[in-house]
Amino acid sequence: MKKLCTIFSTWMLLFSLLARGLAEDVRHEIHFPNLPDYKTLKCDFHMHTVFSDGQVWPTVRVAEAWRQGLDAIVLTDHVEYQPHKEDLSTNLQRPWELAADEAKKKKLLFPRGVEITKDTPPGHYNAIFLKDANQLKTKDFVEQVKRANEQGAFVFWNHHTWKGADKGRWQDVQTLLYDNKWLHGMEVANGSEYYPEAHKWCLEKNLTMLGNTDIHEPDLRRTTTAGDHRTLTLVFVKEPTLDGLKEALKQRRTAVWHKDRLIGSKEWLAPLFDASVIVERPHLYANKTLWLKIHNRSDVDIRLKKSGGRGPTEIFLAADGTSLVQIADVPSAEPMDLTYTAVNFLIAPKTGLPVTLHIEKP
């Protein structure tokens, strides 16, 4: 009997090793629906490799992104900080070159990028969609950003609350970039952090909102769930191409998925909500109560709070789930609109998205 058990457990071990091997390349999609005129891409525009202070080889970033269901990534190693320069090339094109074939095979959009890394002020900026990253090897910060723009790059200010006495302040240097139209966006979220002030500035100054990981270590996630996911940027593109991605970023068609919420503007969170939430016609009307199903086609749990007169005080729509909703005190079976606030769809700091649930006649 003991021998049988040993044989059995050996087989189980072999089987699980084999299954793990086969699962290596499995992609788990992230679910956010397309909008009526746009395709929704899931993107991370800020990450590091061993070519600066990250811990992985460039191709590992591509493998991680594929596994986790991303559509576009950018390797943004520091221009000014290369702790492994004794061992590795300081050619700023190199990380991209090493991973470009893998990205192509996996159909990931893979623009070239770097992180311009200065003390505060001015701080850290990503320049993406570069043609020749090595042109940015100059000490003068304004000259770097100018050269990036001459290459048609998209430039955004990273984690603006980092670091030093002037952290978190908008200063003359940002005004200079902004007035020249050389600054196109800001990170409103970086890893676990959310920056309400950047959120506010993006709304006021028409800058693109971005959310990225800024990951340095390996990302061991195999799947993405509502409770465990990368901080990422949803980009609403006309075409899923490099040009389409850049056009959408420059036109500010983004939303940020950060922890248990989406961050953005009403302009893009409203259609994303409408595409995600499907309200079914009520299937039962009894004792002045309506029963209906509401589907959530996104990977974010949606939390609704009543803002009008009718309907439950709160409605929770689990990610990728169907919720059974009961509406009491309905005198007659007529169509109605229920008004709510999607409290975790932030259209400004501490401001949820107002939404209407249209209920048809049963």
Residues that bind Zn ion (CB under 5 A): 115, 124, 158, 214
Nearer to Zn ion by C-beta: 80 or 320? 80
- Shortest reach from residue 46's CB to Zn ion, in Å: 6
- Shortest reach from residue 215's CB to Zn ion, in Å: 9
Nearer to Zn ion by C-beta: 122 or 352? 122
In 3D, which of 103, 41, 43 has the Cα closest to residue 73?
Answer: 43
Count of residues making up the chain? 362
- Shortest reach from residue 119's CB to Zn ion, in Å: 11
**DSSP code of residue 5:** H
- Shortest reach from residue 216's CB to Zn ion, in Å: 8
The residue whose Cβ lies closest to Zn ion is: 124
Nearer to Zn ion by C-beta: 42 or 46? 46
- Shortest reach from residue 158's CB to Zn ion, in Å: 5
Distance CA 327, CA 66 (A): 42
Nearer to Zn ion by C-beta: 177 or 226? 177
In 3D, which of 123, 115, 119, 133 has the Cα closest to residue 215?
Answer: 115
**DSSP code of residue 79:** S
CA angle 144, 209, 38 (to 5 degrees): 115
What are the DSSP calls for 301-338, one per residue?
-EEEEE-SSSS-SEEEE-TT-EEEEEE---SS---EEE
Nearer to Zn ion by C-beta: 114 or 359? 114
What are the DSSP calls for 113-177, one per residue?
EEEEE-STTT-EEEEES-S-GGGG--S-HHHHHHHHHHTT-EEEE--TT-SSTTTT---HHHHHH
- Shortest reach from residue 187's CB to Zn ion, in Å: 9
Task: List Cα–Cα distances, 80 to 86, 98, 139, in angstroms.
Answer: 14, 20, 9
Nearer to Zn ion by C-beta: 128 or 203? 128
In 3D, which of 244, 222, 356 has the Cα closest to residue 294?
Answer: 356
Nearer to Zn ion by C-beta: 116 or 342? 116
Q: Are 185 and 249 in contact (CB under 8 A)?
A: yes
- Shortest reach from residue 214's CB to Zn ion, in Å: 4
